[in-house]
Structures are given as C-alpha cells and as structure tokens.
Amino acid sequence: MGRLFGTDGIRGLVNNYPITPVVAVKIGQAAAVVFKKKGNNSIIIGRDTRVSGIMIQNALISGICSGGMDVYLAGIIPTPAVAVLTRLLSANAGIVISASHNPFFDNGIKFFTKDGFKLSVNTETAIEKIVLDETSQNLFADNKTIGSVYKILDANEKYMNFLLNNFSGNKPFSGKKIVVDCSNGAVFDIAPAIFEKLGASVTALYNKPNGININENCGSEYPKYLQEKVIETNSDTGFAFDGDGDRLIAVDESGDTVSGDQIIAVCTKYMKEKNLLLNDIAVTTVMSNLGLSDALSQIGVNHIKTGVGDRFVMEAMVKHDAVVGGENSGHLIFLDKHTTGDGIYAAIKLFEAVLYSGQPLSVLSKKCMKIYPQKLINVDVLHKPEISNIKEIKDVINDVEKSLNNRGRVIVRFSGTQPLCRVMVEGQEKDEVEKFCEKIADTIKKVLGK
C-alpha cells in the first residue's frame, strides 16, 4: 500500500486503492484511535451525492464504531457545513466523503479537527501510520464500548442558520434575480434555499442529483450553461459551485465569468472600506493572476503568496492574522467568520459587496482588477518525476522565461489529486502567452504523457 493523503485528504478511483471499503474501515479505526478523548467521543460524517458515498460512509462507520467512538450522520451536505457542525456539536472531528470537482467515479475522504480546520500534516501522518502499519496491534475497542450511530436531523438548518446569522438585514437581496448552478452536488437543495431566504428570486440549475451526474458538464468547472441562463433570465448574477460546495465561480449580469482572483479583489476592497480587513492583508497562492497583486497594491493591501493548495493559504492566513484569502480556482476563505473555504458564504459576501457598491458585478469586477492574459493547460501524465531533473522540460521552460523577459511568469506543477501536470503561462500579450504555454505542454506530453 502507498501513501494515503494528498493535497486535500485521501482521494482516488472508487474500488481502487485507497478508496475501497476495506481501507475505509481501517481509516475509520485509525480516526478513532487518533481523535478519541478530544471531544465528546463522536465524529461527524457528511457526504456529497456520489453513488459510492453510502458505501464509503458505511465502511467508515464500521471502523469508527469498532474503534469505540460514536458517529453522527449529517447526510448529503456541503464540505464547509461539516466544519461548522463539528464546532457547533463539539465533536472530536468531522469527515467529508467527496472528491470535490472530480467525476462521480472518484471519491475521497477528508477530515476537520474539532475546531473546524483541516488536519495538520502531523495528524494526517498519525492516521496514515496506523492504516499502513500491517503489524499494528488490534484496533478494536472492548466489545462493551463500541460506538453507536445517530442522525443529525437538523444538519441543513444548523448550517443555513450559521450563514444567515453572519449577514445583516431582513431579506437584503430582495428584488434581485440570481441563478445558481448546484453541480448536481452537495448544495443541490441548500444553495437555492439560502438565496431565497435572503430575498432573491432564484433560478436553480443542475439541482437533481442521481449519483452519477455530479459535476457532469456543470458547476464551477463548466459554467457555460449558467452564463447562458443568466442572460436568458436577465438575472443580476449567477453562482456556480463544485460537487462539495467549497468552491465558487461567479457570472456577472452580462454572462462573463468572474474568477476567484476577481472575487478576492472585490471582497477585499469592500472589507477594507468597511474597516473589516484585519492588518490589510490578503493571501493567495502563486497561481493568482499578476493583476491581483496590482489591484491590492493600489488599495494599500499587502499580498502574501503561498504554494498551491488551500492548506497553505490557511496556514499563511493564521500566521499573518489575515481574514481574506483563497485561490483563483474559487476556494475562498473568510477567516473572521469561517474556518474553511465555503462557496455559498463567498457568494453571499460577493453579492453583499455588489449591493454596497451600487454597481453591477460586470463593472465592479473590472474596476477592482485588471486581468493579465493567462493560459493554463492540463497534461495527462503517466508519472510525476521531479521537473528540474528532466533536461528537455527544464530547457523549454527556461527558453520561455527568457522570451517573457520579466514581463510574465511560468508555473509548472503536478496536480496533488489527479495524474496531471499543470502548465500556466502569464504575460502581457495573449497570443504570446498561448503560444508559450502550448510549447511547454507539448514538450511535457512528449516526455511524460500517456
């Protein structure tokens, strides 16, 4: 057996290691060992709409209960809701069964601490060591102390109340029209309901999950139909979420997408004007557009950049006492009120900023940030060697960087959750950026591709 944890929990093809019922039982037992006596002796489990979710859930239940802890089931619910429930119910930990924006035949297992934060590397290592150690001692609890299983009957209500209590006003979105793309995922019922409670007239798309249509040509990865629907319904904005609801991509009233970077720019400016931006800091990854750094600099905000992954963004936010951070992909964190990325929370925050400005989103997003041309290509790869050790790839990257001549940048990295190499080139001229990105991607495909 190989390493379990990647950049966002444990993830892979269902019925292939490590996403099998056998391994899930062991993960549940390991969780019981690691988290026991750190709360009220319970672990909360939530899941998205994948057909494999119940199978993995039942295996985790068996492992956790056999290890002597109780399980509280939240049902189908967004990832950030599990973080909220774990805190509210004083559970030892929270578990989410989801593969986020991946197709239905993938699934994953990720954890939250009792405080609602994702696990530290040390805690992941402790769980992983128990699961992978074939010589470990019997992990079963005494047969008089095995755990029980309970349902959280008001899980959705608790999460919705958390969201509503963080925004003021009685139906502040009254008179506004919003389209929500639920990705046939975990937000399929909560997202339309929350915006209706806020007073908006809501058109819901892809809100009929069947177990295999999650993220299928919809959601934050595929906003095309959302764009068309916003224009068709003459709506004020559209919001697209991913399968587990921790990611947001917005669409303005003219049908143009608004990226995670633009959302950060808009929300940061709004929070600064409202004196809500602690220490005048915003944190993103190195993948953020160069235009975001310019935009933040113009309003007197220090832009801190981290490695790719919301884990690193969160670590930097905690270290520097920042309250706004995220990724261009749409993972957005507002640490003054929340402990993890939350697509619905971010959508509400963005629209609150739009209403405060008195301008439509199309105007506000462009006013807050100019986007530098950027091209991203994902290359399927057979393996993931160190890029710096492959002369042919290293040479083509060096050639492109010299051609850009400090007028742009190149980032080449392997995905932490999929067999992909991501190539990103950014610069001042669109044609040049696309040509250089394709040049690097073609080289990687030739050397490492399938």
| Rounded Cα distance, 114 and 274, in Å | 31
Q: Which helix (H) or strand (E) holds 93?
A: strand 93-97
Looking at the DSSP bridge assignments, the partners of residue 425 are 375, 410
Closest CA to 29 of 123, 141, 104: 141
Contact 331, 283 (CB under 8 A): no
Torsion sign across C-alpha atoms 45, 198, 280, 375: positive
Q: Hey, is 75 helix, strand or coil? A: strand
Q: Which helix (H) or strand (E) holds 348?
A: helix 343-357
Closest CA to 105 of 62, 55, 58: 55
Starting at the edge strand that comes first in sequence, how are the strands of the sheet with 42-47 ordered? 5-6, 9-13, 106-113, 93-97, 42-47, 70-76, 149-151
Helix-, strand-, coil-residue percentages of the chain, each rounded to 5? 40, 20, 40
Q: Which residue blocks in 53-201 are alpha helix, DSSP H? A: 53-66, 79-88, 121-132, 155-165, 190-197
Q: Hey, is 434 helix, strand or coil? A: helix
With tokens 């993960």, the residue in question is 27
Q: Hey, is 319 helix, strand or coil? A: helix
Distances in whole angstroms, Cα of residue 210 to Cα of each of 125, 184, 188, 206, 226: 35, 8, 11, 11, 20
- Token readout for 288 is 């953020």
Q: Hey, is 166 helix, strand or coil? A: coil
36 phi and psi, to 5 degrees? -60, 140
Contact 172, 198 (CB under 8 A): yes
Which residues are marked as active site?
100
Q: What is the dihedral of CA 88, 93, 96, 101, to 10 degrees?
A: 90
| Rounded Cα distance, 83 and 242, in Å | 17
163 residue type, one letter: L
> Which parts of 164-200 are beta strand (E)?
177-181
